[in-house]
C-alpha cells in the first residue's frame, strides 16, 4: 500500500454485549490449561467491538477496519462474523449487527462500485487524486466484486440465526436491485460499464491499465472485477473465488426475495444470473494441472489466459468451502487446495517457524495469519486444524493479537499490528475447535 497521512476518527468506548462477555468467561475457563491461547482469544474475540465499532444515532453501526479510519464493506462483515452464533441470545448484539447491515445498504445505494466509505460525507479519500467518479462519502472506489457479496452474506446469516426480518427494508431491496443491475452490466464490462479507475504515482497494483478500463476480457458469463479482495488490481479481470462468492450471494438474495419480499420476478432474474456465472466458472475457470489434476484458476480473462495462484485474503481459492460454493470434499477443491498449499503457488512460503499463503500485497516470505486461520477453518481433519492453531499461537510476536503478514523466519517482523479482521477470523477458528471439543485437554 502507498502510505498516506491518515486522518483520525474518534471511536466511542462500546460496552460489550452480555453474551460476548459470557463467551469470554466460558472460554477462559476452558482454555485455562493453555494460557497463551487463552490470552489471544480474550484479546482477539472482542477486538472489533472494543476498538473499531461505533453506534450511530440513526440506529446504524459504523465499523472501521482498524488502523485505517474508514469502513470497508468486506472487512466490516468479516470483523463481526464470529459473533453470529450468539445473536439470538442478545438484543444489544442484534442492534450492532442489524445496524451494520443497514449502514452497508446505505453505502451500496450511494455507490455500489466503492469498496470503502467514510462515517460522514467529509470528503476524506485514500488518494484525493484518483481518477474516477468520487463522492464525499467514499474513502476508496476500487470496484471489488466481493465487496457486494459480503453484506448479503451478513444479512442472510443474521436472518437465519435470529429469524428477524427487520433489516429487510426498502433500502435493502433497492440495494439488491443495484447489485444485480451492476453485476449484469459488468458481465459485459467493455461494452456497457461506466466504471473507470486510475491512480497516479503509485505501485502498478493500485491502478487499472488501459486508461482505467483494465486489460481486455472476453464474455464468459462471469462478472468483471477491477480489484482483488486484497485491494490489488486483477491481472485477468474474472476473479474466480469472487465469482464463486457471487453465485452464493445470488442464491441468498433469491431466498430473501422469495420469502421476505415475495418478488418472484427477482427470484427468477437472480437464478438466471447465478446460472450464467456458474457456467462461466466451470467452463473458463478450471485448469488441467500436470501434477494436481483439475484445479480452479485464481483469475482468467476468457481468452485462455489464467492466473494460477492464491492470495491470503478472503474470498480466495482456499476459502471456497467457507464461502459455501462447494463442500470441502469436492475433488477439484481438494486438488486446488494441494496446489495452493505447495510451492507451485507463487505466494506460498515456507520458513523456519511457519509455512502458508502470503500475498503480492505484502513482501515476499510474509505468511498471513488470516490464511492460516482459513486453512484451519477449511481443514477436513482435526489434526490440521490443531496444527494451524498452534502456529497462530506461536507467531503473534508476543503482542497478544493477530497481524496481517509476518516473516516466515521471524514473526517479530510483521505488518499491521491492529488488523481487526485477522483477529476475528482467528477467533472463528478457536470457536470452531472448541465446538468440536478439540481444545479441552
All three cell numbers of 88: 439470538
What confidence score (pLDDT) does residue 67 get? 87
What confidence score (pLDDT) does residue 343 get? 97
Q: Give CA angle at 306 (302, 308), nearest 5°.
A: 155
All three cell numbers of 26: 466460558
Architecture of domain 18-435: Alpha/alpha barrel (1.50)
Q: What is the DSSP letter of 328?
A: T
> Kind and range of the H or E element at 174?
helix 170-186
Residue 96's φ and ψ, nearest 5 degrees, are -65, -50
State pLDDT tens for residues 65-109: 988 999 999 999 999 999 999 999 999 999 999 999 999 999 999
What confidence score (pLDDT) does residue 285 get? 98
What confidence score (pLDDT) does residue 2 get? 40
CA pair distance 38, 24, nearest whole angstrom = 9
What confidence score (pLDDT) does residue 148 get? 98
What confidence score (pLDDT) does residue 3 get? 41
What confidence score (pLDDT) does residue 5 get? 54
What confidence score (pLDDT) does residue 144 get? 98
Neighbours of 380 (CB within 10 A): 13
What confidence score (pLDDT) does residue 151 get? 98
What confidence score (pLDDT) does residue 441 get? 80
**Per-position DSSP letters for 72-90, written without gaps between them:** EHHHHHHTTGGGGGGGGG-
State pLDDT tens for residues 129-148: 999 999 999 999 999 999 99
- Residue 435's beta-bridge partner residues? none
What confidence score (pLDDT) does residue 372 get? 98
For the chain, which residues score pLDDT lower than 70? 1-12
> Kind and range of the H or E element at 53?
strand 53-55
For 363, how many CA atoms within 13 A lie in the half-sphere containing its CB?
Answer: 8
SS3 sequence of 259-290: HHHCCHHHHHHHHHHHHHHHHHHHHHCEEEEC
Cα Rg for the chain, rounded, in angstroms? 21
Residue 149's nearest CA partner among 74, 239, 226, 76 is 74
**Cβ atoms of residues 199 and 227 within 8 Å:** no
Amino acid at each position: 500500500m502507498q502510505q498516506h497521512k491518515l486522518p483520525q476518527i474518534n471511536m466511542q468506548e462500546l460496552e460489550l454485549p452480555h453474551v460476548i462477555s459470557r463467551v469470554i468467561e466460558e472460554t477462559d475457563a476452558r482454555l485455562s490449561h493453555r494460557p497463551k491461547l487463552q490470552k489471544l482469544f480474550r484479546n482477539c474475540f472482542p477486538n472489533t467491538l472494543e476498538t473499531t465499532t461505533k453506534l450511530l444515532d440513526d440506529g446504524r453501526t459504523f465499523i472501521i477496519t482498524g488502523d485505517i479510519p474508514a469502513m470497508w464493506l468486506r472487512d466490516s462483515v468479516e470483523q463481526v462474523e464470529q459473533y453470529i452464533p450468539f445473536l439470538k441470545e442478545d438484543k444489544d448484539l442484534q442492534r450492532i449487527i442489524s445496524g451494520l447491515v443497514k449502514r452497508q445498504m446505505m453505502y451500496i445505494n450511494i455507490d455500489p462500485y466503492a469498496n470503502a466509505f467514510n462515517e460522514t460525507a467529509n470528503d476524506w479519500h485514500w488518494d484525493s487524486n484518483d481518477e474516477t467518479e468520487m463522492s464525499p462519502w467514499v474513502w476508496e472506489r476500487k470496484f471489488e466484486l466481493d465487496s457486494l457479496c459480503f453484506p448479503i452474506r451478513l444479512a442472510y446469516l443474521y436472518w437465519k440465526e435470529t429469524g428477524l426480518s427487520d433489516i429487510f427494508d426498502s433500502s435493502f431491496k433497492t440495494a439488491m436491485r443495484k447489485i444485480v443491475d451492476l453485476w449484469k452490466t459488468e458481465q459485459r464490462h467493455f461494452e456497457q460499464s461506466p466504471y473507470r479507475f486510475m491512480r497516479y504515482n503509485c505501485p502498478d497494483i493500485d491502478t487499472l491499465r488501459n486508461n482505467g478500463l483494465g486489460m481486455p476480457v472476453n464474455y464468459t458469463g462471469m462478472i468483471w472485477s477491477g480489484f482483488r479482495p486484497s485491494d490489488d488490481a486483477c491481472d485477468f479481470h474474472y476473479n474466480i473465488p469472487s465469482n464463486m462468492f457471487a453465485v452464493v450471494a445470488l442464491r441468498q438474495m433469491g431466498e430473501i426475495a422469495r420469502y421476505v419480499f415475495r418478488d418472484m420476478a427477482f427470484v427468477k432474474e437472480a437464478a438466471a444470473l447465478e446460472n450464467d456465472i456458474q457456467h462461466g466458472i466451470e467452463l473458463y475457470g478450471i485448469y488441467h494441472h500436470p501434477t494436481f489434476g483439475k484445479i480452479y484458476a485464481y483469475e482468467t480473462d476468457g481468452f485462455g489466459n489464467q492466473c494460477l495462484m492464491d492470495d491470503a485474503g478472503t474470498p480466495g481459492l482456499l476459502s471456497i468451502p467457507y464461502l459455501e460454493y462447494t463442500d470441502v470434499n469436492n475433488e477439484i477443491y481438494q486438488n486446488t487446495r494441494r496446489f495452493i498449499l505447495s510451492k507451485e503457488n507463487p505466494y506460498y512460503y515456507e520458513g523456519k517457524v511457519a509455512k502458508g499463503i502470503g500475498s503480492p500485497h505484502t513482501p515476499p516470505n510474509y505468511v498471513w495469519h488470516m490464511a492460516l486461520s482459513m486453512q484451519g477453518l477449511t481443514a477436513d481433519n482435526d489434526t490440521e486444524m490443531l496444527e494451524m492453531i498452534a502456529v497462530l499461537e506461536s507467531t503473534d510476536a508476543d503482542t497478544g493479537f493477530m497481524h496481517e503478514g509476518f516473516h516466515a523466519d521471524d514473526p517479530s517482523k510483521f505488518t499491521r499490528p491492529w488488523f481487526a479482521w485477522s483477529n476475528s477470523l482467528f477467533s472463528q477458528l478457536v470457536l470452531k475447535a472448541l465446538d468440536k471439543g478439540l481444545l479441552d485437554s
